[in-house]
Structure 1
Amino acid sequence: MLSEYRVIEFSDYPAGSILGMHLADQGAEVIKVEPITTSQEIELMEKNFISKYEKQDLEYSVWNRGKKSFALNWIDRSNLLKLISISDIFIENIDIHTRENARPRRKKEKNKVDLKISYEIAKKVNPEIIYIKFTSFPKNHPYEHLPSKEE
């Protein structure tokens, strides 16, 4: 049904993942963009958060079925913009604090992290893009910049 559509999913919360799952179920090519994880981060997860991730294994498997995966180095957004340029739909559901806390992998690349993506930026590289952004609170809401996770 949707086999002619390519979807880029830039999401780490259920709303974006579930939308991507439904589009993949309908035949769209869905590419989930995920950060490259360093061995130190994996070690930290194993020590502190393993029970959280064990709980989420089933959810992750279900919500990401039928999708392709693309590991992206979050140093800059150029590769993400390349994907947007060849896609039909872009789903964004990344918490603003996730973006602000993303960091370069090497000390000399300090201050080069730029994950800011907006409709205007996406439209410049692909004028036909359908841009879907999930936020916890509406624009100009007093809580607009507070982190939130829908579960």
Structure 2
Amino acid sequence: MGQLDGITVIDLSLFLPGPMATMMMADQGAEVIKIEPAAGDPARQMAPEEADQSVWFRNLNRGKKSIVLDLKSEAGKLRLRELVAKVDVFVEGFRPGVMKRLGFDYDAVSAINPAIVYCSISAFGQEGAMAHHPAHDLAVQALTGFLSVNDGADGTPVVPGVPSADMAAGLTALSAILMALIGREKSGRGDYIDATMFEAMLPWCAHIAGGAIAGGEPPRSQSQRSLGGAAFYNVYATKDGRHVALGAREMKFVQNLLIALDRTDLIPLGEAEAGEPQAELRVFLAQTFATKTRDEWVEWFADKDVAFSPVLDFREALASDLVAERGLLVEADGAHQIAPAIRFKHTPGRPIGPAPELDEHG
């Protein structure tokens, strides 16, 4: 059924990073046992709902089993110890110190099952001055520097549209878990993973913050090629108040577009430094894109070899031909779900189904 058939996972995580990581394992055949408090994962209550389940919860917890345990009770602790003895992976996302107080930190769990791969997901790690500092995605993006370049034209940071720190943590945790499982095949021994949102997010700045990494100045959006300072890597308003994006870096795309627009005189500006040196080119493109509607530009660009895209909202994106062609939005059991991003030729994975009801497998 999937690459992870035979792998069993205990998942005590809530909300986004941990559930995303374990869902990707469940999609590939792992048996994921979601341990929930009596009230359930708070994501169960997040609107909107479809087919009597939260869309958020279903899209991050499909294919899992749900068991409610009170880990402050002896009965709950005993049941979890019994499960721990039989599983391959243990994932938790509590604040540092909680699992130790409950009696299920790595030392305690590995004493029961030395082969277990144990992953803790937190904002800033299990030790250190920031370990107990509360934070969700926005705060982590602020502290990594990313929020400083998620700014408008006036330089004021705005709330990001993507929970990148959460997603980076989930992907990094998944990668580490799979690495540890491969390593266990060689050593027979499990391992402990201290996965943090902060550390997962920080390496994503390598392409924009080279100067700061080397000890120099931080990037500023208006003068950085990937952040709005380049004319051909930018967003432009159209006549109908919508937007289009140019996502080109290569000069061939600059040439193709400016030749088509009969402004070959501006081609050298495409090679200029980002920021003020490209200002004239940015102004020209802004004025040009304002002369047609977004959809008129889509039609105009159809036969042009230029890295161009209309800016779609999520409803438009999910209804697009590309999503349909790739089968990325699946309707099952009366509800819609986004299909797995990881696909294998010979192991298609588990069919998409519902998320478990609370304590369905208790």
Same fold at TM > 0.5:
yes
CA distance in 2, matches of 1:133, 1:139: 8
Map of 1:46-125 to 2, 5 A cutoff?
Answer: 53-55=46-48, 57-76=54-73, 77-96=77-96, 99=98, 115-125=102-112
**1:34 equivalent in structure 2:** 36
Residues 88-145 of structure 1, C-alpha deviations (whole Å, 9 max, x = no match) = 1101112359x59xxxxxxxxxxxxx52421111101111101111111024331101
Report if aligned partners of 2:96, 2:125 keep a CA contact under 8 Å in 1: no
Q: Given the superposition, is the C-alpha separation of residues 133 and 63 from structure 1 closer, same or farther in structure 2, using an over 3 Å criterion?
A: same
Of the three residues 118, 121, 135, the one matched with 1:134 is 121
Stretches (4+) displaced over 4 A: none
SS at match of 2:122: coil
**2:5 equivalent in structure 1:** 3
Structure 2: segments with no counterpart, 5+ residues:
138-162, 164-362
CA distance in 2, matches of 1:8, 1:34: 11
SS at match of 2:90: strand
Q: Given the superposition, is the C-alpha separation of residues 139 and 74 from structure 1 closer, same or farther in structure 2, using an over 3 Å criterion?
A: closer
Of the three residues 131, 153, 162, the one matched with 1:144 is 131
Report if aligned partners of 1:13, 1:149 keep a CA contact under 8 Å in 2: no
Structure 1: segments with no counterpart, 5+ residues:
39-44, 101-113
Report if aligned partners of 1:13, 1:93 keep a CA contact under 8 Å in 2: no
CA distance in 1, matches of 2:37, 2:11: 12
Alignment root-mean-square deviation, CA: 2.7
Please report how far the alpha carbon of residue 84 of structure 1 lies from its aligned counterpart in structure 2 after TM superposition: 1.0
Please report how far the alpha carbon of residue 12 of structure 1 lies from its aligned counterpart in structure 2 after TM superposition: 1.2
The residue type equivalent to 2:84 in the other structure is: I
Please report how far the alpha carbon of residue 55 of structure 1 lies from its aligned counterpart in structure 2 after TM superposition: 5.0
CA distance in 1, matches of 2:129, 2:25: 32
The residue type equivalent to 1:91 in the other structure is: V
CA distance in 2, matches of 1:96, 1:55: 31
CA distance in 2, matches of 1:71, 1:61: 17
Identity %: 30
CA distance in 1, matches of 2:7, 2:129: 36
Report if aligned partners of 2:89, 2:116 keep a CA contact under 8 Å in 1: yes
> Computing the radius of gyration over CA atoms, which structure comes out larger, 1 or 2?
2
SS at match of 2:46: helix
Say yes or no: does 1:19 pair with 2:60.
Answer: no
Residues 18-45 of structure 1, C-alpha deviations (whole Å, 9 max, x = no match) = 011000011100010001239xxxxxx9
Q: Given the superposition, is the C-alpha separation of residues 116 and 148 from structure 1 closer, same or farther in structure 2, using an over 3 Å criterion?
A: farther
Residues 71-100 of structure 1, C-alpha deviations (whole Å, 9 max, x = no match) = 112323222222111101101112359x59
* Matched residue count: 126
Report if aligned partners of 2:46, 2:57 keep a CA contact under 8 Å in 1: no
The residue type equivalent to 1:7 in the other structure is: V
CA distance in 2, matches of 1:140, 1:2: 31
Q: Given the superposition, is the C-alpha separation of residues 13 and 149 from structure 1 closer, same or farther in structure 2, using an over 3 Å criterion?
A: farther
CA distance in 2, matches of 1:132, 1:80: 16
CA distance in 1, matches of 2:128, 2:111: 27
